[in-house]
Structure 1
Amino acid sequence: MQAFRKLKPPIRSALPRPGLTPLELAHDLVERIRFDQYQAIWDLVGNSWLKYRQAGKAN
């Protein structure tokens, strides 16, 4: 599980940068949605691996 924690991307700030145009704000929002989906998938993989190890099926 430590390997999964080391590879996780850093947590991003919840606030958008000041001075963005509406187009830049929209692009930032799309990036955040993609990042959240990636984070959720990564957590699912990590949790599945942890359960697998706890069941004694992995080294």
Structure 2
Amino acid sequence: MSERERKITETIAAAVDNMSDFGKGYLLGMGEAMVMDKKEKAKAGDAKAGEDNEIQR
């Protein structure tokens, strides 16, 4: 983990202590959505690479 990532993690951890349950749920949902989006983009990139290989054949 880089120094910047460590600082981000510490800042979020400190902020969570003062959040409402709604705020915590919102933050969790945003994080989960970001992970899902990244996975979908990676999957789409893999599919696109496969299509490019088919065109070259």
Name the TM-score, length of structure 1 as normaliser: 0.57
| Sequence identity percentage | 4
Partner of 2:51: 52
Identify the structure with bigger relative contact order (alpha carbons < 8 Å, sequence gap 6+): 1
Cα RMSD for the two superposed structures = 2.4
Alignment match, 2:40: 41
Question: Number of aligned pairs?
Answer: 45
- Stretches of structure 2 that go unaligned for 5 or more consecutive residues are none
Offset from partner CA, 1:8-45 (integer Å, 9 cap, x none):
xxxxx583712231332211100011111111111111
Give the structure-2-normalised TM-score: 0.59
Contiguous gaps of at least 5 residues in structure 1 = 1-12
Whichever of the two has the greater Rg, that structure is: 2
